[in-house]
């Protein structure tokens, strides 16, 4: 907190120092006290942003008899006030207590007034050595006393550092608290606490080097930031300060996987995702947990081996959302000779240990069920195994596990600035709530935005080039009824999958097109629909056209630029890049859903020693939430789901079969927890969309960060395909009304 004189002087050098005064002049702020109120609440002679009326001389000082100005009054409830940093809670450093002139009781008013007058004239105008000395000392002390913040929740009172927001009596000022200085907070009593917490926070003139640096950066970055700087920080959204070991930027599969691994090793983790979890590439994949048969053509044996190993691990960790899928490849002599396919499949079978999945084999299509929907003329084919995954749920389950192990997951919160701060990083996160995160290490897992995020971190060298490659899928009414998927080859040597999707549909994809636009706005092109339809029509009896397409989705692959010519030839492997020197900042370039766990493990392998974390690798053994379906015997069979489903149905005989199957698939062993003791269909609540009851919606909103209809209908469940616009609106309205 600054005295009025300093408050004005310091703000003068930044941006429009008096702007907060102007802003407050508009109307009497509902979070500032009425004039004449709460003088007794003044603490430490501090000042806060105030209305112009407060600048007028007011009453006389009790101790000196002189007139005091409104500057000397602290806005009641502004105990959370921090020059340059709007906060809801802060603790005061221990060494500050009782020594500063600002800490002295009222009897010190005369001295304080003297210092204030000297401060107004500036140090050069001081004619006594003692005065200069005092000012310098106070200035030094104020600098040392930079208040650091711990976690506090807007609308609730700040509590002990690192603990949940506390009750009324837990936040008295000057209380000594354990922990590092920057985890302590100063909080005063303040009668207008509610008004302050409910309303926007305060921001005063920047104070100290760090604050000045921030103000400069804010002004430079335009938009909301510039507004902040312009207003001199008059009134802004409340900002929480969080201290953590690791900040993960990006809530796709890689960010969620790293957050989970780090939290499981005992690190304090914050993950920020600017949209919903898995809203971008991680929900737009072909949804395969696979080794990548076609990568063998590019001699990527290392990547295929790693992916095949991970396929086995993931099938074990989340058998409810990941399951085996058998593929049929009709032989097309004009694209690849049979010996090449056989050699490739042999390698595919043997590059890594296979515990669950059967080996590949050659088939005769005329006596195989998968031959029936195919056009005649193809006699020969091959069969092999891979895995299917509900990609968006895999991300959510990783985030959920991270959260249950202590990580803080902030969805719809964008990281807008990252800067070095001593031996760590200071990041600005903006969303419905604003945060300043002080982290010992940062992970940039922003997928297609990784290069932009790397540039956010000021002072970083030019980031590695990413190659953005668009891939699109179409969904059509089912082309076949059996459970096999197809891998079909085009004359351009590309391959396309046709996969059974949600009982009534077939998913067809993907394409590979260079992409230069905004990854958030990626959409399928007409040429892609034509390409996918044409290729499908060349293989299947049932012909499809644009009119048959019931849904499409597109994603942007953030691929490591290996200077490969064609987009489909670019490596799908990943690179973890941690620039030497300075606090750890790890960039994730590239990657696949299949290899996310290994990527996270390797990331922690790099970060853990820098964070003095001794936790061992653990994610290969621990099932994801809901994944502990089976006993050991069933696990060995690789068929944990069927017996689990039978048990679940027996325990909930009132659930219709399709609903029981969907709950068991989506939530696994947590399905009963999601149902929360409900024992009849009526108790599930209103049916807001086909098969979507209030009970599930409540769970998704409260536990899985679902905040919008799309979060529920396209990512947490895949019910979007069966909903009309009225039902979507029902879900949207319900979520808006029941926001946790």
Q: Which spans of this chain sit near ligand FAD (rule: CB under 6 A)? A: 249-255, 272-275, 279-282, 284-288, 414-415, 445-449, 453, 471, 510, 555-558, 591-594
Query: CB-wise, 33 or 251, nearer to ligand FAD?
Result: 251
Residue 29 structure tokens: 């702020």
**Which residue, 17 or 255, has its beta carbon nearer to ligand FAD?**
255
Least Cβ distance, residue 282 to ligand FAD (angstroms): 3
How far apart (Å, rounded) are the C-alpha atoms in residues 368 and 386? 19
Smallest distance, ligand FAD to C-beta of residue 400, A: 16
Nearer to ligand FAD, 86 or 509 (CB): 509
Nearest to 604 by CA among 576, 628, 626, 583: 576
Cβ 449 to ligand FAD shortest distance, Å:
4
Residue pair 574/563 in contact by the 8 Å Cβ criterion = no
* Burial of 68 from C-beta contacts in 10 A (0-12 / 13-18 / 19+): middle
Q: In angstroms, give the least distance from the CB of 575 to ligand FAD.
A: 12
Between 556 and 712, CB nearer to ligand FAD: 556
Q: Which is nearer to ligand FAD, 553 or 648 (CB)?
A: 553
Peptide bond into 510 cis (omega under 30): yes
Start-to-end CA distance of the chain, whole Å, equals 34
The secondary structure of the chain in percent helix, strand, coil, rounded to multiples of 5, reads: 40, 20, 40
Strands (DSSP E) found in 111-171: none
Residue 506 in contact with residue 478, Cβ under 8 Å? Answer: yes
Q: Where are the beta strands (DSSP E) in 231-307?
A: 235-236, 239-249, 269-272, 288-289
Q: Closest approach of Cβ 719 to ligand FAD, in Å?
A: 21
CB of 502 vs ligand FAD, minimal distance in Å: 17
Virtual torsion, Cα 251, 253, 257, 259, nearest 10 deg? -10
Bridge-based pairing of strands 485-489 and 495-501 is antiparallel
Min separation Cβ 472 and ligand FAD, Å: 7
Which residue lies nearer to ligand FAD by CB, 414 or 683?
414
User: How many CB atoms are closer than 10 A to CB 95?
Assistant: 12
Taking the least distance from each CB to ligand FAD, the nearer of 147 and 281 is 281
Q: For residue 621, what are the CA distances in angstroms to 251, 294, 386, 473, 671?
A: 23, 29, 21, 33, 22
Least distance to ligand FAD from the beta carbon of 426, Å?
15
What residue number has its CB nearest to ligand FAD? 252
Report the C-alpha gap between 425 and 611 in whole angstroms: 13
Q: Between 267 and 415, name the residue whose CB sits nearer to ligand FAD.
A: 415
User: What's the min distance (Å) between Cβ of 273 and ligand FAD?
Assistant: 5
The length of the chain in residues reads 740
The torsion of the CA quartet 471, 476, 481, 487, rounded to 10 degrees, works out to: -20
CB-based contact 185:152 (threshold 8 Å): yes
Report the residue number, 145 or 285, with the smaller CB distance to ligand FAD.
285
Cβ atoms of residues 330 and 496 within 8 Å: no
Nearer to ligand FAD, 188 or 252 (CB): 252
Nearer to ligand FAD, 207 or 574 (CB): 574
- The Cα-based distances of 616 to 247, 585, 734 in angstroms read 20, 21, 43
Q: How far is the CB of 476 from ligand FAD (least distance, A)?
A: 17
Residue among 470, 489, 662, 480 at smallest CA distance from 553: 470
- For residue 2, which of 105, 120, 89, 177 has the smallest C-alpha distance? 120
Nearest alpha-carbon partner for 320 in 712, 674, 709? 674
Taking the least distance from each CB to ligand FAD, the nearer of 445 and 533 is 445
CB 599 within 8 A of CB 591: yes
Considering the complex, what minimum distance in angstroms separates the CB of residue 303 from ligand FAD? 11
Cβ nearer to ligand FAD, comparing 43 with 587: 587
**CB 136 within 8 Å of CB 123:** yes
Q: How far is the CB of 270 from ligand FAD (least distance, A)?
A: 11
């Amino acid at each position: 907190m600054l005295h009025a004189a300093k408050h004005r002087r310091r703000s003068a050098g930044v941006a429009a120092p008096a702007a907060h005064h102007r802003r407050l002049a508009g109307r009497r702020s509902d979070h500032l006290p009425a004039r004449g109120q709460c003088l007794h609440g003044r603490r430490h002679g501090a000042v806060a942003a105030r209305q112009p009326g407060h600048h007028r001389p007011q009453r006389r000082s009790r101790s000196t008899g002189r007139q005091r100005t409104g500057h000397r009054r602290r806005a009641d409830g502004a105990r959370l006030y921090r020059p340059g940093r709007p906060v809801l809670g802060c603790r005061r450093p221990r060494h500050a207590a009782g020594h500063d002139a600002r800490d002295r009781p009222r009897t010190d008013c005369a001295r304080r007034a003297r210092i204030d007058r000297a401060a107004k004239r500036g140090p050069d105008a001081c004619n006594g050595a003692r005065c200069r000395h005092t000012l310098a000392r106070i200035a030094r002390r104020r600098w040392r006393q930079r208040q650091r913040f711990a976690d506090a929740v807007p609308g609730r009172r700040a509590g002990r550092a690192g603990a949940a927001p506390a009750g009324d009596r837990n936040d008295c000022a000057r209380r000594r608290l354990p922990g590092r200085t920057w985890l302590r907070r100063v909080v005063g009593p303040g009668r207008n606490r509610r008004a302050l917490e409910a309303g926007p926070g305060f921001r005063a003139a920047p104070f100290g080097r760090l604050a000045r640096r921030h103000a400069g950066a804010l002004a430079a970055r335009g938009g909301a930031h510039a507004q902040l700087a312009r207003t001199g920080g008059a009134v802004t959204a409340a900002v929480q300060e969080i201290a953590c070991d690791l900040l993960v930027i990006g809530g796709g599969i890689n960010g969620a996987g790293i957050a989970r691994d780090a939290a499981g090793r005992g690190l304090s983790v914050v993950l920020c995702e600017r949209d919903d979890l898995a809203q971008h590439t991680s929900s737009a994949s072909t949804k395969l947990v696979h080794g990548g048969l076609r990568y063998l053509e590019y001699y990527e044996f290392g990547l295929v081996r790693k992916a095949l190993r991970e396929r086995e691990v993931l099938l074990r960790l989340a058998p409810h959302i990941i399951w085996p899928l058998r593929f049929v490849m009709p032989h097309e002599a004009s694209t690849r000779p049979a010996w090449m396919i056989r050699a490739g499949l042999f390698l595919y079978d043997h590059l890594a240990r296979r515990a669950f999945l059967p080996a590949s084999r050659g088939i005769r299509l005329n006596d195989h069920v998968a031959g029936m929907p195919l056009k005649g003329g193809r006699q020969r084919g091959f069969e092999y195994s891979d895995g299917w995954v509900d990609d968006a749920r895999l991300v959510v389950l990783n985030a959920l596990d991270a959260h249950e192990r202590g990580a803080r997951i902030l969805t719809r919160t964008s990281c807008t600035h990252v800067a070095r701060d001593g031996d760590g990083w200071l990041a600005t996160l903006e969303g419905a709530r604003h945060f300043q995160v002080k982290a010992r290490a940062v992970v940039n897992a922003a997928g297609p935005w990784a290069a932009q995020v790397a540039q956010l971190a000021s002072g970083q060298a030019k980031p590695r080039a990413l190659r953005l490659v668009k891939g699109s899928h179409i969904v059509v009414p089912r082309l076949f009824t059996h459970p096999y998927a197809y891998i079909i080859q085009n004359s351009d040597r590309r391959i396309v999958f046709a996969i059974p999707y949600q009982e009534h549909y077939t998913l067809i994809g993907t394409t590979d097109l260079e992409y230069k636009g905004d990854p958030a706005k990626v959409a399928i092109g007409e040429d892609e629909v034509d390409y996918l339809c044409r290729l499908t029509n060349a293989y299947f009896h049932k012909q499809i056209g644009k009119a048959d397409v019931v849904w499409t989705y597109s994603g942007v692959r953030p691929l490591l630029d290996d200077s490969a010519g064609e987009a489909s030839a670019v490596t799908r492997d990943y690179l973890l890049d941690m620039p030497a020197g300075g606090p750890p900042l790890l960039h994730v370039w590239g990657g696949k859903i299949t290899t996310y766990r290994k990527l996270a493990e390797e990331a922690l392998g790099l970060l853990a020693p820098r964070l003095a974390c001794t936790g061992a690798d653990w994610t290969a053994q621990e099932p994801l939430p809901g994944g502990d379906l089976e006993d050991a015997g069933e696990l060995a069979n690789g068929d944990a789901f069927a017996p689990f489903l039978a048990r679940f149905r027996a325990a909930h005989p009132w659930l219709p079969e399709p609903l029981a199957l969907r709950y068991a698939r989506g939530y696994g062993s947590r399905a009963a927890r999601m149902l929360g003791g409900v024992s009849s269909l009526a108790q599930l609540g209103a049916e807001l969309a086909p098969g979507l009851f209030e009970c599930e919606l409540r769970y998704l909103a409260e536990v899985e960060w679902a905040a919008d209809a799309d979060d529920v209908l396209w990512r947490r469940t895949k019910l979007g395909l069966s909903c009309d616009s009225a039902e979507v609106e029902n879900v949207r309205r319900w979520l808006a009304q029941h926001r946790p």
